[in-house]
Structure 1
Amino acid sequence: MTTERVLPAEAYRWRWPALAALLLGEAMNLLDATVVQVAAPAVHADLGGSVSDVQWFGTAYTLPFAVLLITGGRLGDLAGRRRLFVLGVVAFTAASVACALAPSAGLLIGFRAVQGAAAALVIPQTIGLIKAMFSGEETAKALGSIGPVMGLAAVCGPVLGGVLTHADLFGSSWRAAFLVNVPVSAVVLALAPLLPEDRAPIRPAFDWPGTALAAAGTGLVVYPLIGADVTQLPMQRWVLLLAGLLALAVFARHQRRSARPLLEPSLFTHRGFLAALVTSTAFFAVTNGMTTVVVLQLQLGAHTGVLAAGLSLIPWSAGLAIASWLAGARLVRRYGRRVMPYGLGVLLTGLLAAVAAYRTTAPGHYPAALLPGLALIGLGAGLFTPAFFTLALHPLRPQEIGSAAGLLNAVQQLGATLGVAVLGSVYLAGAGTGGPGAAPHAAQAACWVATALVAVCAAASSRVGAPDRR
């Protein structure tokens, strides 16, 4: 089957507004992964429920998001990427309204799960639709815009959640954080007709056993890490984790032997793409994990309010925005893959500056010296992401795009969950040891773990974009 395009060729003069629809859709979905990070205590105070519900307000979204991303990518190959994109945005908007109106913690958690499932339909379609709309150097420029949007959304989520909760617009408190999705989605849906309909050039069959194995494996790996102290993981969680790894091993074996695999087998013959998966996991573990540590330290260690904790991330967001624009518009086209190690170097400098800030700030005081370090972390991440996403997908064939997009986004969410679990656990375990200086020392320890993950990211990223296939 050939690629279906609903719009006539001359309509592609609207490809940049259509790209805006895709990027807004990505930002809206990824923003919600972290928007309740700062607001969760206010939600719990309003709705009640058990203390564990505070963790589930965020992770009820992340879990189905991570589990269903690969399936969402393949469904786009089959049914059409624009169709799945629009369906996902509509479902996401309806779930957002339901979250804002939720009368209890249990219902909010359920609606958050629906949001995550809808996001898994939206996110994997972006890359395929960009490939359908752009060609030549414009493709690299358009793909390079994805990384900055993803990074900004991840960092701006806590900022937006803190600002909206503190503003208490019309008495809405935390509910405004979900209602803000409604006008954004209206813009996305208004621009959606400009998108071409696109699907895999060769129509793949749907792999039901592979889908079940991928969902079960991913879910069993992610679930035990949610809200857990990874330094003291109980035996039953280890059993679930090992069962998930076993299910993923069976999934990999099934993909190699299946006549109609869920993932294109050719992806795994490409060393550059395998390196991109490792890089994405490590990078988003650092950025999401450090966001969590900074917010926890500000609220629990420095005893700041929800607004101050959210606003403190603005230097990170500003640095990310500036560097992303500069890298996407100029640096990647001029210097190519060399931008990635420079970005990681700046990010590493920011982490070391954060260590120094936590070391020199008196316990219980606001760490003003941390702000320049956060700006450097944002600058480094902003330099890295456009180059990474451009190179990670550059050598792929059209029939590989849906699988690659779903898998790359899935490991991003896995990395984010691992980062929150590992770095959050390092901080909480250290901060809970007692004494006024425990919290700053725990934040330093989390920063050192993050530097080790940056080293992993640097090693893996050296192979990203490599053209050779095994």
Structure 2
Amino acid sequence: MSTTGVASVEAPTDAPAPYRWRWPALFVILAAEVMDLLDAMVTTIAGPSMRADLGGGAATLQWLTAAYTLSMAVGLVTGGRLGDIHGRRTMFLVGAAGFTVGSLLCAVSVTPGMLITARVLQGVFGAVMLPQGLGMIKEMFPPQESQKAFGMFGPVMGLSAVCGPVLAGWLVDADFFGTGWRMIFLINLPLGAAAVLGALRFLPRTRSGSAPRLDIPGMLLVSLAALLVIFPLVQGREYDWPWWTFAMMAASLVVFVLFGRYESRRSAAGHDPLVVPSLFRKRGFVGGLVLGLVFFSTMQGFMLVFTLYTQIGLGYAPLKAGLVMVPWSGGMIVGFGIAQGVARFGRAVLQAGTLVMALGVFGVWLTLQTAGSGVGPWHFVPSLLVAGIGMGLLMAPFFDIVLAAVDPHETGSASGTMTAIQQLGGAFGVALLGTVFFGLLGGGIATAVDHRADDLRAQLSAAHVAPAVQDRVIADLRACASDRATAKDPAATVPSCARLQRDTRSAVTSPEAAARIPGALEATVSSAFRGGFGSVMKTVLWIVDGMLVVTFLLAFLLPRHARPEETPGH
């Protein structure tokens, strides 16, 4: 109701009072955010333990993360519209309950396929739950309090980033009640129940005055386009890159074009499009989309590959691997804080963060180069801290600067699209960098065995193994180490390893040789694993830095500054 022309003494009577339970409601919304943030990263730490228990190949490790982020990406925009149609409180309850059920299904999964399907279910319901919270905050809080409410997201995100990997590692290592990795999902049950009960008690019943119609065909098209590129990237290596993997990736471009044309026609007909077509005529927004896709691919892909390197390559337990990532997460919080103090520099802060992060990633490469196979957790602290600070500097102004390129009436569609790109970029990065990592791994470990062949040959000679037998054993060891690292089923005995066992038995000619040869082979394999994983990790780090350079250059397409009135509620 307008108060124009009304006496000042009557203003308080006409102005609606703030929602009574707005602060308890905010904590319910933040609890949902915490569940999502934790579940987005826990499988990165617990993935090797899940694979060891359930089986599956390298693609399983990638799908555990990609399935969640991909399903969330394609559901986020539609999730927001469902709140406009059916009420934000109702859809929050549906999303929280479904997310909790999905967590239970993850915890009781007995096959990789069942677990991945449950992760998809989590992502879908997470996409229904999360958009409702931001909309309700705007409705519940008066303007003078909304900044404070939105400001609580930063600390919560930072705390979750620090605690998530550590919590996941601790729960897996603690093995409460024999649950192992399953506890990282079971812990969501009390959190989800609290979110549902809190929502029933504290969240307001609201509904948009002009509810848009769902764009189901648009949602199906963009889902298909995303799947056509993610699936062949993840599975292609295990199928030895058949022609249809490349055909699927080419088809994804065609479907994206069809999606764009359909959205334009839908908008011209006066219907509500999934994405407002006029956004793609704005250089700043399109640049932000591409930049977001590249950057979030870089970030998620790096986190997956680095965690696999520490757990599988260096043999760290899940808790130890989670603790290694604490400097990265802590640096991100520091970066967010610095960004608030230098926000007036706008786009320059984002670009400076990109360069600082690239410097930190180069520091990780330098650490591996200088420490070699003897690298330990403390060696990574300085470089990961710097990389985290850079990431915080980059992320803090990103959404506000990109949204400065759009008109006010496009902000809702643009925000949903940018958030979806964040999730889609994560899925793409996990697929791309994970595929590169595992694709190089077999050759990297084989090369590492070659580098240690002379030392092994000397030990075999000391055990009186004939030169011809030495050659055969070393060739078998090279094949076995490479095949074991890239095996689809890590629990199965690969043929090359069975051949190594036979040739090793034939090489034993005395009790002394029986005592020395197995130890020499095991020491060589262990050293080659660390060295091979390290060399492949260094190659991936160069790719990561290259992607950050691309991010830096793409930032020139963005507006120089964010709109001063924009609220940082992303």
TM-score, structure 1 as length reference:
0.86
Partner Cα distance (1:244, 1:298) in 2: 34
Correspondence for 2:259: 251
Partner Cα distance (1:132, 1:465) in 2: 29
Residue 147 to residue 272, structure 1, CA distance change in 2 (3 Å): farther
Partner Cα distance (2:106, 2:113) in 1: 11
Residue 86 to residue 168, structure 1, CA distance change in 2 (3 Å): same
Partner Cα distance (1:276, 1:147) in 2: 21
Matching of residues 417-428 of structure 1 within 5 Å: 417-428=427-438
Correspondence for 1:442: 536
Other structure's SS at 2:40 match: coil
My pick for the range that moved more, 309-318 or 141-150, is 141-150
Correspondence for 1:374: 384
Residue by residue over 1:308-366, the C-alpha shift from the partner in whole angstroms, topping out at 9 and shown as x without a partner, is 212111111111223324535x443x544443223223212211111111111222643
Other structure's SS at 1:361 match: helix
Residue by residue over 1:397-417, the C-alpha shift from the partner in whole angstroms, topping out at 9 and shown as x without a partner, is 675454333322221122112
Matching of residues 36-435 of structure 1 within 5 Å: 36-48=43-55, 53-133=60-140, 153=160, 157-192=164-199, 194-196=202-204, 202-229=210-237, 233-258=241-266, 259=269, 260=271, 261-328=273-340, 330-332=341-343, 334-363=344-373, 365-366=375-376, 368-393=378-403, 400-433=410-443, 434=446, 435=448
Partner Cα distance (1:189, 1:380) in 2: 36
Residue by residue over 1:409-467, the C-alpha shift from the partner in whole angstroms, topping out at 9 and shown as x without a partner, is 22112211222222223333333212134322221221111112212222333444569
Residue 252 to residue 323, structure 1, CA distance change in 2 (3 Å): same
Query: How far does residue 279 in structure 1 lie from its aligned partner after superposition?
Result: 2.2
Partner Cα distance (1:28, 1:364) in 2: 36
Query: How far does residue 16 in structure 1 lie from its aligned partner after superposition?
Result: 5.1
Q: Which amino acid aligns with 1:405?
A: S
Aligned residues of 2:89 and 2:205 also touching (Cα < 8 A): yes
Partner Cα distance (2:173, 2:21) in 1: 39
Question: How many pairs were matched up?
Answer: 459
Partner Cα distance (2:551, 2:148) in 1: 23
Residue 336 to residue 226, structure 1, CA distance change in 2 (3 Å): same
Residue by residue over 1:102-157, the C-alpha shift from the partner in whole angstroms, topping out at 9 and shown as x without a partner, is 34444333322211111121233344344444576865665566577567656754
Residue 393 to residue 383, structure 1, CA distance change in 2 (3 Å): same
Correspondence for 2:550: 456
Other structure's SS at 1:205 match: coil
Q: Which amino acid aligns with 2:176?
A: L
Aligned residues of 1:147 and 1:389 also touching (Cα < 8 A): no
Aligned residues of 1:82 and 1:197 also touching (Cα < 8 A): yes
Partner Cα distance (1:417, 1:35) in 2: 15
Partner Cα distance (2:238, 2:57) in 1: 21
Partner Cα distance (2:155, 2:353) in 1: 13
Q: Which amino acid aligns with 1:264?
A: V
Aligned residues of 1:97 and 1:179 also touching (Cα < 8 A): yes
Partner Cα distance (1:18, 1:464) in 2: 35
My pick for the range that moved more, 85-94 or 394-403, is 394-403
Partner Cα distance (1:28, 1:428) in 2: 30
Query: How far does residue 272 in structure 1 lie from its aligned partner after superposition?
Result: 2.7
Q: Which fold has the larger relative contact order, with Cα–Cα distance below 8 Å and residues 6 or more apart in sequence?
A: 1
Partner Cα distance (1:181, 1:274) in 2: 37
Other structure's SS at 1:379 match: helix
Partner Cα distance (2:406, 2:142) in 1: 14
Query: How far does residue 291 in structure 1 lie from its aligned partner after superposition?
Result: 0.7
User: Percent identity of the aligned residues?
Assistant: 39
Partner Cα distance (1:147, 1:233) in 2: 42
What is the root-mean-square deviation in Å for CA atoms of aligned residues? 3.2
Residue 343 to residue 49, structure 1, CA distance change in 2 (3 Å): closer
My pick for the range that moved more, 439-448 or 392-401, is 392-401
Correspondence for 1:5: none
Partner Cα distance (1:360, 1:398) in 2: 52
Aligned residues of 1:73 and 1:402 also touching (Cα < 8 A): no
Query: How far does residue 26 in structure 1 lie from its aligned partner after superposition?
Result: 2.5
My pick for the range that moved more, 48-57 or 306-315, is 48-57
Partner Cα distance (2:282, 2:320) in 1: 45
Q: Which amino acid aligns with 2:36?
A: N
Aligned residues of 1:55 and 1:227 also touching (Cα < 8 A): no
Partner Cα distance (1:22, 1:326) in 2: 26
My pick for the range that moved more, 154-163 or 356-365, is 154-163
Correspondence for 2:29: 22
My pick for the range that moved more, 129-138 or 448-457, is 129-138
Correspondence for 2:458: none
Please list every run of 5 or more consecutive structure 2 residues that lacks an aligned counterpart in the other structure.
1-14, 449-527, 563-570
Other structure's SS at 1:363 match: helix
Partner Cα distance (1:98, 1:230) in 2: 27
Aligned residues of 2:74 and 2:219 also touching (Cα < 8 A): no
Partner Cα distance (1:32, 1:310) in 2: 14
Q: Which amino acid aligns with 1:263?
A: V
My pick for the range that moved more, 101-110 or 352-361, is 101-110
Larger of the two Rg values belongs to structure: 2
Q: Which amino acid aligns with 1:183?
A: P
Q: Which amino acid aligns with 1:279?
A: L
Q: Which amino acid aligns with 1:316?
A: W
Q: Which amino acid aligns with 1:218?
A: A
Partner Cα distance (1:134, 1:225) in 2: 44
Other structure's SS at 2:372 match: coil
Other structure's SS at 1:369 match: helix
Partner Cα distance (2:239, 2:401) in 1: 35
Partner Cα distance (1:268, 1:127) in 2: 24
Residue 463 to residue 59, structure 1, CA distance change in 2 (3 Å): closer
Partner Cα distance (2:359, 2:296) in 1: 17
